[in-house]
A and B are shown apart, each in its own frame.
Chain A
């Protein structure tokens, strides 16, 4: 029990010190509101339904962009990983594009797509594309040649080989790519929503900033942190569910 509590001691101490500093007037509410005020703002937003609305909008944006960018990355990664011709045709181009930070595309994205939903989707989708693509490609290329040779000599057809040996062998690497993408997804979303938005967590915080509502700004920041953590938990759960055989994720025999 004590061991489980230990990691939380420091955050709790910081919260208490922060609360005391705010109440004693050491810390102005304009700079940092007290924790209780943040909690109150959170509660108010939750009751009014605003919170659910904005989180819903942000999550929908994030995950549709992930579906588009990650899906494309998976597809192209499978393609270039499997067929040398596809690699020869696509990989150099993709490797060059990879070196452009997604955020450097903002001016161009705004010019092409304006500042609507499409711009945000494109920005996030481009960012999450590469981790999935690269890890899928390498995952497929790094499947143990010996296992492939064995499976061939045991009479597996090409499709069976792909389905039973190559894909499962590449899966750990693909999931690593997905986890990277999930982390990147929120970062890019924050930037995209801060640029301009009519709804979403970014809108919530930018709007609050206009009115110096630092408590709501803080709620927004904490929401991003929470969602980021949640995405990580989901990624871990996927790894546990899909890689039960993997030493790193599960040690149970059954």
Chain B
């Protein structure tokens, strides 16, 4: 399909995707810190999947868009969807209060499932536009240099990934993460 989806526009959209992933991970942190809702192991795995979702867009921003990058997004989103779907099914029986608080009527693992589904749809839509993959038209063009918008997006998502590692260390300590976390193990050990 020919379109106005230039490589530059595709890279900008991938940068926007990185900001969306960062926003989701920061929202999870807000509920963890402000509301005291520590993430369970399946919750942490969903955060891992959101982090993995950023891999394809970062490659696209750095090296220009390729179908391979969108394929990585789809794989990460499918894995995240399986994890979120598992948590939905654990609490699907009538009368089950679910795990954690709700936002607009849905638990966060339900919202995560919807976000992963949206990521698959977005990657599939991006794959419809061939023009972004055409480099033959300008073989002697200088290599693309990411702008401040994309660079900031990349560093933000890497920073949030590292924050999640630190949070997991505080929550689980140096042992296995508890199935139903109620306090920060590392702070308990040294508090």
Q: Do A and B bind each other?
A: no
Give residues in A with beta carbon < 8 Å to B: none
Give residues in B with beta carbon < 8 Å to A: none
